[in-house]
Every structure is written in C-alpha cells, then in structure tokens.
C-alpha cells in the first residue's frame, strides 16, 4: 500500500481535497504550489496507510488555522510548517516522529503535511481527523474519540511561536483562535499528537487516496462533462442539489473566520428556484427555496458548473455558475457526540440534523 506521491498525484489530491473541503481548507492552487515546490526541493513523499503504521509510533499533523481568505494575501514563507511541527515534537520530548498527517481535507490543509513530510523526509499517513474540513479545532474525529488537541504549537510567518496545554479541546480552540486573530487571522499549527493506534481508531482512513480519486475524475480530459459528473457522484456517493448562477455573496471576516452566505439563482430545470448556502469557512447549510436540503456535518460542495473544479468560499463571486453537491459525512459524525460537536445547532442554526439521504427520501423537506 505504501507508495510515493509524485507531481500528478499532488495535483489530483489538491483538487479532490478542495472538493472535500466543502468550501474551506484553503485554495488548491496555493496548496499545490507549496507541495510541488517541496517535492521538487526534497524529493517525493512516501504515503502510508494507517493500517501500516506501528501502534506505538508517534505522529503529528500540521495545518493552517484561520480565515482561508487571508492566506491568499499572506502567503506562507514555507518554513512555518516545519517550525511548528518540530517545536511540538521537541516540546513533547519525542525521540522520533514517525510521520505526519493532515487535520482536514482541503486545498491547503491537505498539502501542508506533504511539505512537512518532504522537508523532514518522514512518511505521510493516509488519514485525517475530519474527512472534510471544519472551522474549529475541536471539530475532529480525534476529539470524538477523546484525544486531546493539546499540547499544541502555533506560529506565524513573522516567527512568533507558542505552545499551549489546555483543560479541554474547546479551550485549545479559544486560546489558539485569539492568537490566530492577533497574528493576522491566519496561523500555522500542530496539534492532536497521536500514536499509530489512535490514528487507526479515530482517524478518517484513506482520505488522501480518496481525494486523489476525486481529483482524477475532475481533472480528467477523457470524458465529456456529463460522464465525469456522473462518475463524481458515484465515487463520492453524492447527490446534486442545485445548478445555478451566484447572484449575491455576503461575507465578513470575524473572529478569524470567513462567515457568509451565497445566493444562487437556478438554471435549466430549476430556473424558478433559489438556493442559499451559508458558511463559516466551510459550507454549513444549503437551503432551496427556504427548505434545508443538506446540513452540517454532511458535506456541501460547490463546483464550477462546467469544469467541475471545486469552488472555495473565498472564490464565490457574482455571476459564477456552479453546481451544489451534497455528500454523506463519515458515520463518526452522525453519533450524538458528533452532532453535538458539528451539527447545525452548534453553529447557531435552529435545525435538527437530518441526514442528507433522509431529506432526499422525504422529497427535500427536512422540517417534516
């Protein structure tokens, strides 16, 4: 199962991870450029399966935290990822870090661990802690499994660096968030230090490979658009919620997050309908004509109407023609603790979580 990630794999992963990033997780172009430059400098990165790691080996992720829109202007210098990763390792007194892994799927956040793995010549484990992207640190399947996010390291592109130990994962989020805002609304972090056994138990397995497969479909030039789209739905177990043209985007950066709402006017058969997608870094709720069609933790993914390239929340703009897809989330998220952690109520929506498939069965009326 062990293999090396080459340029083509990275291009595919960046696109597929941006798709799974459900609007967040960073811009895939920026992410891919960072990863490609890292493997050009240091050689290809070894991808290993979580099933292959030793239970007692020690792993740490590395990720970007904050408002994805900021990263576009505040491009990382590149040494931040390694600095924060090595800092946490030294702090923990770990003799050997056996590998790294992404915290979430996203155009940037799936790529940062590739940079770290390349620079430090360590393997990348094919799992993450979300199977998608979420805006807050405690929103991980590791958290659901009782793993502590702290000790956590945080740094910025200027060279400030910190370590936190906290009483719970919500406090890790709170204290890391205020520092991230002060650092300029984005930071680089390493957290949830984990053993191989914990990765096996609590990680979302094969997320890099899954991202790569999605990227392959989207980037393929061999099929016509309809075939590609059908393949994409089949591969991801997804459904299409809407096709339309973005007519309005409201956004604000607040507390280190990108909040907003996109209004999409229907095209083709849906010309009389309207979809509203609400986001906090990531897409959280998709309503069609006022009726919820999909909600967090299920994945709401927007892609370009024709190219099927993922559209991140910071790239939403008037006139863009998009398809809105929804994918069922990992079963770990559909537990009580999962819904409490990332369900609609947590984000302030007065909605009981109804799985995507249920809504579809009921003809799209989640309020029944």
Strand 239-254 versus strand 321-327 pairing type: antiparallel
Instruction: Tell which one of 181, 284, 285, 294 touches a copy of itself (CB under 8 A).
Output: 181
HSE-CB for 110 with a 13 A CA cutoff: 40
Separation of alpha carbons 34 and 29, rounded Å? 9
For a copy of itself, the binding residue among 33, 164, 253, 351 (CB under 8 A) is 164
57 versus 157: smaller Cβ distance to a copy of itself: 157
Of 106-114, 120-128, 169-177, 263-271, the segment contacting a copy of itself by CB under 8 A is 169-177
**Sign of the C-alpha dihedral, residues 124, 125, 130, 131?**
positive
- Between 91 and 346, name the residue whose CB sits nearer to a copy of itself: 91
- List binders of a copy of itself among 203-232 (CB under 8 A): none
Angle between helices 225-236 and 207-219 (to 10 degrees): 170
CB 163 within 8 A of CB 151: yes
CB closer to a copy of itself, 192 vs 279: 192
Rounded to the nearest whole angstrom, what is the least distance from the CB of residue 158 to a copy of itself in the complex?
5
Tell me if 276 contacts a copy of itself by CB under 8 A: no
Q: Which is nearer to a copy of itself, 91 or 349 (CB)?
A: 91
Query: What are the CA-CA distances from residue 325 to residues 61, 86, 219, 275 (Å)?
Result: 28, 38, 17, 12
**Residue written as tokens 């089949």?**
234
Site mask for a copy of itself (CB under 8 A), range 77-116, x = bound: --------------x-------------------------
Bridge partners (DSSP) listed for residue 323: 243, 303
Scan residues 131-160 and list those touching a copy of itself (CB under 8 A).
Answer: 158-160
Please say which residue, 177 or 323, places its beta carbon nearer to a copy of itself. Answer: 177
Beta bridge partners of 263: 248, 276
Binding-site member from 6, 8, 51, 182 for a copy of itself (CB under 8 A): 182
What CA–CA distance (Å, rounded) separates 93 from 88? 8
C-beta separation of 61 from 190 below 8 A: yes
Taking the complex as a whole, how short is the minimal distance between the CB of residue 91 and a copy of itself, in angstroms? Answer: 8
- Coil, strand or helix at 55: coil
Q: Which of the stretches 165-173, 235-243, 289-297, 325-333 binds a copy of itself when contact is defined by CB under 8 A?
A: 165-173
Q: Which is nearer to a copy of itself, 84 or 315 (CB)?
A: 84
Note whether 166 binds a copy of itself by CB under 8 A.
yes
- The yes or no reply on residue 163 touching a copy of itself (CB under 8 A) is yes
Give all strands (DSSP E) within 289-353, no chain letters.
291-295, 299-304, 321-327
Q: What is the Cα–Cα distance from 54 to 174, expressed in whole angstroms?
A: 33
* Residue 32 or 87 with smaller CB distance to a copy of itself: 87
Question: Phi/psi at 263 (nearest 5 deg)?
Answer: -105, 130
Instruction: Give the number of residues in contact with a copy of itself, rule: CB under 8 A.
Output: 19
Among 1, 2, 178, 250, binds a copy of itself (CB under 8 A): 178
- Coil, strand or helix at 29: helix
* Residue where the block lists tokens 């604000």: 252
> Does 179 engage in binding with a copy of itself (CB under 8 A)?
yes
Nearer to a copy of itself, 167 or 226 (CB): 167
Interaction between residue 167 and a copy of itself (CB under 8 A): yes
- Beta bridge pairs of residue 252: 259
Q: Which residues pair with 324 in a beta bridge?
A: 242, 302
User: Given candidates 29, 171, 346, 349, which one binds a copy of itself under the rule CB under 8 A?
Assistant: 171
| Residues in contact with a copy of itself by the rule CB under 8 A | 91, 158-167, 171, 174-175, 178-179, 181-183
């Amino acid at each position: 199962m062990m293999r090396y990630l080459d340029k083509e794999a990275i291009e595919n992963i960046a696109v597929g991870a941006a798709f799974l990033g459900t609007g967040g997780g960073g811009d895939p172009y920026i992410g891919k450029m960072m990863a490609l430059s890292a493997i050009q400098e240091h050689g290809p990165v070894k991808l290993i399966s979580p099933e292959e790691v030793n239970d007692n080996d020690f792993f740490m992720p590395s990720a970007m935290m904050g408002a994805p829109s900021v990263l576009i202007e505040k491009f990382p210098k590149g040494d931040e990822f390694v600095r924060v990763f090595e800092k946490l390792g030294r702090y923990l007194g770990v003799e050997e870090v056996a590998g790294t892994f992404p915290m979430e799927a996203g155009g940037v956040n799936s790529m940062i661990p590739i940079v770290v793995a390349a620079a430090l010549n360590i393997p990348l484990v094919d799992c993450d802690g979300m199977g998608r992207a979420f805006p807050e640190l405690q929103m991980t399947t590791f958290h659901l499994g009782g793993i502590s996010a702290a000790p956590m390291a945080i740094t910025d592109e200027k060279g400030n660096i910190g370590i936190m130990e906290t009483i719970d994962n919500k406090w890790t989020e709170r204290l890391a968030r205020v520092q991230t805002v002060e650092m300029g609304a984005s930071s680089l972090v390493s957290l949830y230090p984990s053993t191989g056994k914990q990765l096996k138990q609590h990680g979302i397995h094969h997320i890099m490979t899954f991202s790569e497969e999605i990227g392959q479909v989207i980037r393929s030039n061999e099929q016509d658009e309809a075939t590609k789209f059908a393949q994409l739905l089949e591969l991801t177990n997804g459904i299409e919620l809407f096709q339309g043209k973005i007519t309005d985007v409201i956004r604000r950066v607040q507390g280190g997050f990108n909040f907003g709402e996109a209004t999409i006017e229907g095209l083709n058969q849906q010309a009389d309908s309207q979809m509203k997608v609400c986001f906090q870094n990531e897409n959280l709720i998709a309503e069609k004509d006022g009726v919820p069609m999909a909600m967090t933790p299920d994945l709401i993914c927007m892609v370009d109407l024709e190219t099927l390239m993922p559209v991140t929340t910071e790239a939403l703009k008037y006139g863009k023609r998009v398809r809105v897809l929804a994918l069922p989330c990992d079963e770990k998220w559909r537990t009580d603790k999962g819904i409490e952690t990332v369900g609609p109520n947590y984000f302030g929506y007065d909605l009981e979580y109804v799985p995507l498939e249920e809504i579809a069965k009921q003809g799209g009326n989640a309020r029944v």
